Structure 1
Amino acid sequence: MTTFIKIEEPHKGPVDTTSFALWRLGFRPFYLLASVFAALSIALWALQFSGWMQHAYLQGPIWHAHEMLFGFTLAVVVGFLFTAGRNWSGRPTPTGWPLAALAGLWVAGRVLVLTPFGWAAALVNAAFPMAAAIALAIPFVASNNRRNYFFVGLLVLMSAASMGVHLAQLGVITVPGWAGIQVALDVVLFIMAVMGGRVIPMFTNNGVPGAKAQRHPLVEEMALGSVLATLAGDVLQLPPKAMAALLAVAAVAHLIRWCLWQPWTTWRTPLVWVLHAAYLWIVLHLALRAISMMGGLPPSAATHALTVGAIGGLVIGMMTRTARGHTGRPLRTDRAEVASYVLVLGAALVRVVLPLVAPAMTVPAVLSSAALWSAGFGLYALHYWPVLTRPRLDGKPG
């Protein structure tokens, strides 16, 4: 089937840059919500520790992990896929009141986990990725965009993982809730590996004169296949030695992939080097997790290398680049954006490295990392509030 993509006519007449544009395209509300939530969730975490939220349905580390994945990360993924999906399919993705309703569903999920209403929280949090999957499937199927069908499947899997966490929390199933968290981590890792492979070499060659970032078919297969194998291993609960072997192969494959992208050529271009720096955290996550499987390191180091380093770094980098591109702004950074990169990647270094080299400094490391993370995403939210809520500078739709 042939897909016809409408070519937009150049805008004529005066450009409206003052009206409210938050619901015009998926990245706008979800990037803003995710960044605000990333900054404020540290305060919620502190309130839980202080005993002010004893009525909350999800508490402690399980709340922290759940909200990192099914709150913050999933919001960015959905915002990105709704925006990119329109370009991939040539068909509209949710805008206007349907987009506002999906954003409201996400907000409801964040609120309900802090209330005593466990079943309501479970249903709403599982419903959000499922609704996003359906909304994404409609343009993909209409345009026969089979290359990206798997994103729909991954969102459905995230819905199932979320429900698994909640059913365990509610005592309905005996499988621990952390199993659902691990599956969700693997799914997000695969999404980052796929999208990183698509955009980082392209952004490098487009943004850095003379760069020769490459993609090798065998390396691509090994990198993506090893992540899928890791996901399967976690689902099947393979023995630690087998998982360590899988993770070691994955770490080597992703390191080779990263080197082929010529990261050392990008240091003068923050909009590109932030993505390379974040992707390196995937390599470190896989290596640290392989070591932890053999009992050599605490598993939290590997987990935070993925969540704070890779997810945080790729999210802050992609949110700035795609927001600039889809609002008609030049693809270059200012001081506030570079500062947000440094703060988020600094949070990863402090959270992962300091406890490893000085275990007695774990608590100060956690607090310092939290402050850096909150400052980085808080800066993004403040800086991009007018960008995300106002129309494109070039007058085009979106």
Structure 2
Amino acid sequence: MTPSPLVSASSTAQPAVALQGWPLLRLGFRPFYLGTALLACLSVPLWIAVFLGHVSWQFPVPALLWHAHEMLFGFAAGVVVGFLLTAVKAWTGLETARGPLLGALALLWLAARLAALVAPYPVYAALDMALLPAAAAVLLRVLLKAGNKRNIPLVSLLLLMAAANLAFHLSVLGAIALPAMTALYAELALILMVVCVITGRVVPMFTRNVTPGLVIHVSRRFELSLLACTALALALWVLSAPAPVVLAASLAAAVLHAVRLWSWHPLVARKRPILWILHASYTWLPVGFALLALAQLGWVPTTLAVHAFAVGVIGGLIIGMVTRTARGHTGRLLQASRGEVAAYALVMAAAVLRVLVPAVQPAWYAWALEGAACLWAIAFAIYLAIYTPWLMRTRLDGKDG
């Protein structure tokens, strides 16, 4: 996009069309990144306080289901929506949602999060189920208009996530005989598939861009095999297939993801925090599949694999991408400050406390939960402190977005 023309200082001058409106509602990442960071900062400490008996709170659903649902459908899915609303504009050159439409989507997300705490369950369910289909419709319209068929599968994933959310709410309401946790595991699996697709596109590119002469060969056959194996392993796990079958598929996925990560030359990123956080977070993917395989033998609880995926992979990639994309789309250098580096380290440390410490020393479980929750909350509080002023203002270069 070409720079906006200079605006006269006279009293009769009108702002450039692209810069009209509240900056917060000019592009999808702005309200959704701030909202999801605030949710991450507040909800995890609340959950741990309730789980350990420090606080009493009556949720519309059992507390464990509330925590898992809000982390997946509130936090992670909210970031996915904000990211896609931003990325699809970049991919097509067409507006996705801004102004009143973007504000309506953000308010719908916020209303569901508040309803999860205080509203009757049917109200919460209705609000919560509306966002993903609405966002999918907005994105599909733009992709079809631009003739961008390559990225339509990402919209299909949003609709599958919406189906998982519907299954969750129907389960809680007793309308179907599916365990609510199965629907949540399905959502986790879908988000991991989004992660696999997006990281496969961007991490090698980002690594090459900052390393002159580096060659990263991406084999289409290998990528398709990896995605197929990952989808199979996750589907077998979600559907409670026989343990030996899940074990074999999980081990295969762990090996393939480890090979993929190594082919990206992660060591070259060690001096670039805004890049190493992506490599470090991806490392938890083969770790998670290895833990999932061990869980089939009864050697570790499945929850360790779940949190390797949720905290290490998803949490780490989110803190990495919401800093990188927000810097880029506000006209700032792609170079992390000390505060951002601290946030990266805190999320990775939270993953270690939540996953590895209980695996090695189960007696420290409660302490590890409290420590992980504190580190996680501080990391996203740092993000809010740095980025709230930036996302509330126009880009530094004066462009739209």
Q: How does 1:222-261 map to 2 (within 5 A)?
A: 222-234=225-237, 236-261=239-264
Match of 2:127 among 124, 128, 139: 124
Consecutive unaligned residues of structure 2, counting only runs of 5 or more, are: 9-14
Other-structure match for 2:38 = 36
Q: TM-score of the superposition, structure 1-length normalised?
A: 0.94
What corresponds to 1:267 in structure 2?
Answer: 270
Task: Compute the displacement of 1:236 (Å).
Answer: 4.3
CA contact (8 A) 1:247 1:287 kept: yes
Per-residue CA shift, 1:205-239, capped at 9, x if unaligned? 11233433331223211211112213432454421
Choose the corresponding residue for 1:25, options 16, 24, 27: 27
Q: What number of residue pairs does the alignment pair up?
A: 391
After TM superposition, list the pairs within 5 Å mapping 1:1-398 onto structure 2. 8-13=1-6, 20-46=22-48, 48-49=50-51, 50=53, 54-234=57-237, 236-398=239-401
Distance 2:290 2:166 in 1: 29
CA contact (8 A) 1:275 1:313 kept: yes
84-93 or 66-75, which deviates more: 84-93
- TM-score, structure 2 length as denominator? 0.93
Distance 2:237 2:188 in 1: 10
Letter in 2 for 1:10: P
Change (3 A) 1:229 1:105: same
Comparing 138-147 and 17-26, the one that deviates more = 17-26
Q: Could you say which residue in structure 2 is the equivalent of 1:4?
A: none
The residue type paired with residue 72 of structure 1 is F
CA positional deviation for 1:116:
4.9
1:335-368, Cα deviation, whole Å (9 max, x unpaired): 0110100011110011111111111001100000
Tell whether the 8 Å contact from 1:18 to 1:391 is kept in structure 2 after alignment.
no
CA RMSD of aligned residues (A): 1.9
CA distance in 1, matches of 2:49, 2:119: 16
The verdict on how the C-alpha distance between 1:271 and 1:311 changes in structure 2, with shifts beyond 3 A counting, is same
Report the alpha carbon displacement of residue 75 of structure 1 after superposing the two structures with TM.
0.8
Q: Distance in 1 between matches of 2:112 and 2:49?
A: 18
Please give the alpha-carbon distance, in whole angstroms, between the structure 2 residues aligned to 1:148 and 1:198.
Answer: 12
SS at match of 1:374: helix
Contact 1:125 1:159 in 2 (8 A): no
8 Å CA contact 2:45, 2:374 repeated in 1: no
Structure 2 CA distance for aligned equivalents of residues 108 and 19 of structure 1:
22
Runs (5+) with no aligned partner, structure 1: 1-7
Stretch moving more, 119-128 or 368-377: 119-128
For 1:159, the aligned partner's letter is A
Shift of 1:14: 6.5
| Alpha-carbon distance, 1:53 to partner | 5.3
| Amino acid of the structure 2 residue aligned with 1:390 | R
Identity of aligned residues (%): 42
Q: Which residue of 1 aligns with 2:11?
A: none
Q: d(CA) in 1 for partners of 2:234 and 2:154?
A: 15
